[in-house]
Structure 1
């Protein structure tokens, strides 16, 4: 492992040294009228004699730019959508440095009436308590969902089940526009209905400040959606098609006047997700074994609609009303061939188990937000918001067993019904007050209510009559209330930053199994301190550090004792007695930013108590898996992220993450302890080719690792994307191939004195062709399409 990391660092530093002797160019780009910074303005270094492009970049969120060139005879070109392009020739080179100062761009009235597509690469920006991944044009994600976008974000991975991991660990809180959303909850996979073209940026917060809800042991991922605010009518649309069955249409439009900003986005689509599976369940005493091999086809039709309006009372007061409707209709078919074997692996019996599942998942969310900016300071404001949401799921599954050989082969049938409903309400107030330019105070509170009802029943056929199995059926009720209050103080100057915070949360959880009258009520209060600091060692090198305490409360689907019977020899269920897990998180990060490359490295440690982990037990020749609180987990890790631009037509980025686990605890009155590690690596190459073609190649590797009971296999994957601009750049055609070698798998082995269990799942290759077009003052969607759950 040390050799791998050493080679990676040596590769970065070797190329950096080769380019380190150029002329460094810096400056800042602002709007001439408002004097506000312009993000993503394009900066080109052109040869004076031929106008050949020597280097290029885009400005950061604060309008600053930094790049370098080997040439000593060049001009600088600055451009942005809707502004007059400016060429700079009058500057002075001092000690191999050029300071362009503040560059003011004037609006181009004529250009504002035309559609212009601005090239944009994804960039990462470091802030005091978070990293911001500005979503660009990652070609391999054409026709993708937000889950695919997250898979391209440094530190984030999404496994085949769609679980989002941060630095290899679950327990991630996912927000949309800084708030909880019906789209990020469990059940129905609604997050996948967000199309990638809807996303402006993704904020990765590994050590959140006290301002954020303390939920999420490994941190927070905040997905910020686009909301166009240019005056007039603006919009864009995209169309995608692919194999296997992958068709979607995305459309967005907004209209801005002096008082109103009306905005809307819609995505509709149809998806088929095939999957192969294989399972083995073995009794370690008798060596009797059950094997199953088969395939699943999941078909989904979905729609996601966002409508909203901003009303500006004046320049400093605005109210926003918005609504979100998402709907999924699922039809799933599973076909598995089951076989039983005796202790000598001689076949005993076999049967074919077929499943037909249908489900509908409607979701609603509505929000009202009021923001008041005070006149004394630019960032002095009060923000009030109220959010309501509802989600329901009506699902039924029919299972039939048809004998194929031997005595004892199953010939029965089962029926599973699940009627689920959930309502959530969030009330929040945030107040921010700067004192001068260096000190900022934040305070506020949040009240969050969740109410869930789940009526589930499993029946079996008895002479053609469906009979409910009482021990597998019940009505489950769940209610959670969380009240949080926080305060933070931050001090920042040109070299040093410090942010301290404290959050108090009181949690009330009530669960009830109605048929058996089993209750489990919890009420607890916690304090969550946070600390963030940064120091600028040199102009292009800074150090950051952070600490936070987090909580991961059991989710409804962790608590719900509903039993999944797709494989009756290997079932899963929830645990109503789960307790929350707590995490103390520490990290130190170094950031080096050179005109030709950037490099960041983090060392982090997490101490997790009451760790929630899936545990499998063996009863009556059946493996039963449910989440349990199992001991403590010490996680120490190293993360390295690098980005480099060797030339104006080639850029590359690399991400590496290593985790070392030290697990200990007591299970069934027996102490246990083990140590393990896990690492992931991703390398992305982007090429700008002649004739307005662009190519992207992504390689991804995830190592094997160990959990309390399981050994999880590793795998390597590759994605490829290519883009072509046509009709003077107004139309963009994208082609992507995700999982080129069909190598993305989920494979695990559980070896126990009582039983052995093996599970394997694989999804195949996905090819998508997309076309996008922008109109008004909008831009063509370089991302486009609908959902894909990996």
Structure 2
């Protein structure tokens, strides 16, 4: 439908360029009468009174604005948008450049219930400052989770641990509906939320001052679906898969002129078998082999999760909207894990095998209430938004090791409260001022216990090396302002954000209290120049911060292996980044191309290092003592990340769509790290390192005969060296098929994640005088999923854009596009 509208508007416009009458420009705006949000791709048509043949026309942009050249004269002007009632201005005398009154269109409820043929949205919307990926038609994620969605988005990758990176940078801020996630463990939360709840994902590589300064690598904003159609409508989705994957979810919506009630509820049962191996050769101070241990690990992660969101919009009057929503997530998990250690002497002669069984289980509960008030003033674009979000979260994990010889408990409680106000004031025709405040207050209490069974008393005695109670309190208050304007073909957006951070990291068992208080300014600047109607060039800068949280600062967070330990560093300092980006965007009839070159300079960057901890452990009773190898994060000097990427969206034929992304980067770290070995020797490691890597992604969507959709995704992350070794390249491919039936009210979809079972993180590590190791880790094996979707009283996809932006204010109250 969009392509048809574009073609109609183009033909109409070009058909009258040769007219000799005086040309004038007519501008204006079209919006949704109920939500007051702009309508993109609405059509404007000029006809002579008494005639039906159009003489000029055009469509609206993302702000609902149109600008159309016509010959001076008298016209009937028609305003139309699919599924909305049209509006017409009769006998309008146009003799000079003029801006018409704003037009508000009302939804046609009868037409909405009849329409079943979709106006398929572009999968990728490329803008200068961000890319918007509409995931509603992505066959790869049917029956999956948010993690699956993110892993199918160009520039974004999700590794086998669930760690998210953007352009190869893991310092990424994750937002849900413009707000930080209320989950304690964001990685696990994204594996619980079903993919069917997501409308689109915004990828912002260089955010402006209105966004949180958090995230040196940029941010991802996950926007959830909300109902918008008049009356009662909804969607139900059922899934089944192998390994065991069962789910049922539904979203319902009821809308009138005064209220919009919406809910999304789902239950999922997912089994995710995984495995890993680590082959280690131990060395003495002279790099002579002292022995070998080959570790093999198999686990069956089982997650049973319930997710529900319920809320309503109350349209108090034409200028005031109040939104309230409650979100509840409950999840239980089991992870029985068998770890085998195959021992060899210095000559690689087999000496025995030891087995360690971890019976892990856990549950989590997350509750959030959010409220938003949006006030639109008389002047177009003049708006005040006030919102708050208040959440309580509990995550509890337990494990019994070797039939109860040891036990672990990890009890986490979090309270997060966010209040925010954003004000937008248009100044003149092409300028805009924005200002706002945000306060984010977070308290996380982690009680971690490792107990050893006393054979006499049959009680567990705390292992003081690992047990700890950690309190993390964070208070961040922020003020921002920014001003943007457009002068002819040149646009600029200048902003400044100030944040005051007050952070406490308290180890309650050891009475070690650490407060870090700092405040910083975060400037941003965006410049763009229109080279033509379909091409732009931009230059941007922003300053960012990465605050250490969660497992990065927890002194101990994992005991699944007692000889390979991960330990957080509570004394980590925040890392600051300066980000520069030069971008170019060009649109053709069937192709949209964007490219950018970027440079990030980070001070006190986080790096993971592996060292000898100084401790020794027995794999099992009677086995020899083995050095415990510690992995921990440190602030390692400076990091320089330089790269370029390009993205294209190409539709060679009506039945074939292609989009691809390529990213190449150079990463240089400068720093050294010192530690003391178990023998008391001080070791100073020079960790200066320069690494080159690249990644590419190609997505093809083809419409086969009988209207069967076929989608293929191919991904490749190239090898990358680090100061202590190298990570191998990772290829993977996903497939998806879907077919509509019952007059397009139902869809049957089949997808295969990781067709060749090749998604494995492979690392080689070398620590002189300590060890040499090779490891493979596969978080989840190949997954096959079949899903059935049924819709009632709505089209296959929402035809209109997300016009209810007051519920997802992009972490601020403004518009990401440049003024004008």
Q: State TM-score, norm by structure 2.
A: 0.82
Structure 1 pair 425/685, CA: closer, same or farther in 2 (3 Å)? same
- CA displacement 1:541-580 (0-9 Å, x = unmatched): 1101110000000112211112412111101111111100
- Which of 336, 339, 354 is equivalent to 2:342? 339
- Which of 632, 636, 643 is equivalent to 2:642? 636
CA RMSD of aligned residues (A): 2.9
- Which of 771, 778, 792 is equivalent to 1:775? 792
- Which of 781, 784, 799 is equivalent to 1:764? 781
Query: Residue 594 of structure 1 corresponds to which residue in structure 2?
Result: 588
Separation in 2 of the partners of 1:323 and 1:233? 20
Query: Residue 48 of structure 1 corresponds to which residue in structure 2?
Result: none
- 1:288 and 2:291 aligned: yes
- The answer (yes or no) to whether the contact 1:30–1:105 under 8 Å persists in 2 is no
Question: Post-superposition shift, 1:31?
Answer: 6.7
- Which of 610, 627, 633 is equivalent to 2:633? 627
- CA displacement 1:258-301 (0-9 Å, x = unmatched): 22111111121100000121112332114312211131100010
Higher relative contact order (CA 8 A, sep 6+): 1
Q: What SS does structure 1 have at the residue aligned with 2:504?
A: strand
- CA displacement 1:592-620 (0-9 Å, x = unmatched): 10001111111000001101011111133
- The answer (yes or no) to whether the contact 1:382–1:432 under 8 Å persists in 2 is yes
Separation in 2 of the partners of 1:188 and 1:600? 30
Separation in 2 of the partners of 1:42 and 1:267? 38
- 1:330 and 2:347 aligned: no
Q: What SS does structure 1 have at the residue aligned with 2:552?
A: helix
Q: What SS does structure 1 have at the residue aligned with 2:148?
A: helix
Question: Post-superposition shift, 1:684?
Answer: 1.0
Separation in 2 of the partners of 1:79 and 1:756? 68
Separation in 2 of the partners of 1:137 and 1:772? 12
Separation in 2 of the partners of 1:740 and 1:506? 48
Structure 1 pair 771/106, CA: closer, same or farther in 2 (3 Å)? same
Query: Residue 439 of structure 1 corresponds to which residue in structure 2?
Result: 431
Q: What SS does structure 2 have at the residue aligned with 1:190?
A: helix
Give matches, 1:97-496, under 5 Å: 110-114=110-114, 116-118=116-118, 120-127=120-127, 129-183=129-183, 185-186=184-185, 189-285=188-284, 286-376=289-379, 378-400=380-402, 413-463=405-455, 464-493=458-487, 495-496=489-490
- The answer (yes or no) to whether the contact 2:692–2:721 under 8 Å persists in 1 is yes
- The answer (yes or no) to whether the contact 2:492–2:527 under 8 Å persists in 1 is yes
Q: What SS does structure 2 have at the residue aligned with 1:691?
A: helix
- The answer (yes or no) to whether the contact 1:142–1:770 under 8 Å persists in 2 is yes
Structure 1 pair 652/168, CA: closer, same or farther in 2 (3 Å)? same
Q: What SS does structure 2 have at the residue aligned with 1:472?
A: coil
Question: Post-superposition shift, 1:487?
Answer: 0.6
Question: Post-superposition shift, 1:121?
Answer: 4.7
Separation in 2 of the partners of 1:494 and 1:705? 45
- The answer (yes or no) to whether the contact 1:425–1:450 under 8 Å persists in 2 is yes
Question: Post-superposition shift, 1:670?
Answer: 4.8
Query: Residue 83 of structure 2 corresponds to which residue in structure 1?
Result: 82
- The answer (yes or no) to whether the contact 1:458–1:472 under 8 Å persists in 2 is yes
Separation in 1 of the partners of 2:790 and 2:650? 30
Separation in 1 of the partners of 2:201 and 2:28? 23
- 1:498 and 2:515 aligned: no
Separation in 2 of the partners of 1:538 and 1:609? 39
Give matches, 1:735-746, under 5 Å: 735-746=750-761
Separation in 1 of the partners of 2:117 and 2:151? 25
Structure 1 pair 634/188, CA: closer, same or farther in 2 (3 Å)? closer
Separation in 1 of the partners of 2:451 and 2:186? 22
Query: Residue 752 of structure 1 corresponds to which residue in structure 2?
Result: 767
- CA displacement 1:613-648 (0-9 Å, x = unmatched): 111111331111111111111110010101211111
Size of the aligned set, in residue pairs, is: 709
Structure 1 pair 767/352, CA: closer, same or farther in 2 (3 Å)? same
Separation in 2 of the partners of 1:708 and 1:656? 25
Q: What SS does structure 1 have at the residue aligned with 2:116?
A: coil
Once the two structures are overlaid, the 10-residue window that deviates more, 302-311 or 459-468, is 459-468
Structure 2, unpaired ranges of 5+: 1-8, 14-26, 45-58, 67-78, 88-101, 617-626, 675-683, 800-820
Structure 1 pair 64/704, CA: closer, same or farther in 2 (3 Å)? farther
Query: Residue 573 of structure 2 corresponds to which residue in structure 1?
Result: 579
Structure 1 pair 137/39, CA: closer, same or farther in 2 (3 Å)? farther
- The answer (yes or no) to whether the contact 1:81–1:118 under 8 Å persists in 2 is no
Once the two structures are overlaid, the 10-residue window that deviates more, 359-368 or 491-500, is 491-500
Separation in 1 of the partners of 2:639 and 2:32? 54
Query: Residue 5 of structure 1 corresponds to which residue in structure 2?
Result: none
Structure 1 pair 316/535, CA: closer, same or farther in 2 (3 Å)? same
- CA displacement 1:189-239 (0-9 Å, x = unmatched): 112232223222211111111111100010111111222222211211111
Query: Residue 693 of structure 2 corresponds to which residue in structure 1?
Result: 678
Q: What SS does structure 1 have at the residue aligned with 2:185?
A: coil
Q: State TM-score, norm by structure 1.
A: 0.85
Structure 1 pair 117/103, CA: closer, same or farther in 2 (3 Å)? farther
- Which of 691, 703, 709 is equivalent to 2:718? 703
Query: Residue 666 of structure 2 corresponds to which residue in structure 1?
Result: 660
Q: What SS does structure 1 have at the residue aligned with 2:180?
A: coil
- CA displacement 1:698-748 (0-9 Å, x = unmatched): 111110112332311111111111110101111111111111111111111
- The answer (yes or no) to whether the contact 1:188–1:361 under 8 Å persists in 2 is no
- CA displacement 1:164-184 (0-9 Å, x = unmatched): 11101101001111111214x
Question: Post-superposition shift, 1:774?
Answer: 1.1
- The answer (yes or no) to whether the contact 1:115–1:775 under 8 Å persists in 2 is no
- The answer (yes or no) to whether the contact 2:30–2:42 under 8 Å persists in 1 is no
- The answer (yes or no) to whether the contact 1:29–1:59 under 8 Å persists in 2 is no
Separation in 2 of the partners of 1:594 and 1:106? 33
Structure 1 pair 255/555, CA: closer, same or farther in 2 (3 Å)? same
- 1:533 and 2:550 aligned: no
- The answer (yes or no) to whether the contact 1:29–1:41 under 8 Å persists in 2 is no
- The answer (yes or no) to whether the contact 2:567–2:631 under 8 Å persists in 1 is yes
Separation in 2 of the partners of 1:81 and 1:690? 27
- 1:545 and 2:562 aligned: no
- CA displacement 1:383-422 (0-9 Å, x = unmatched): 1111111211111101118xxxxxxxxxx93111111111
- The answer (yes or no) to whether the contact 2:139–2:737 under 8 Å persists in 1 is yes
- The answer (yes or no) to whether the contact 1:490–1:500 under 8 Å persists in 2 is yes
- The answer (yes or no) to whether the contact 1:426–1:449 under 8 Å persists in 2 is yes
Separation in 1 of the partners of 2:667 and 2:260? 50
Q: What SS does structure 2 have at the residue aligned with 1:344?
A: coil
Query: Residue 563 of structure 2 corresponds to which residue in structure 1?
Result: 569
Once the two structures are overlaid, the 10-residue window that deviates more, 534-543 or 222-231, is 222-231
- The answer (yes or no) to whether the contact 2:32–2:38 under 8 Å persists in 1 is no
Structure 1 pair 339/500, CA: closer, same or farther in 2 (3 Å)? same
Separation in 2 of the partners of 1:145 and 1:503? 34
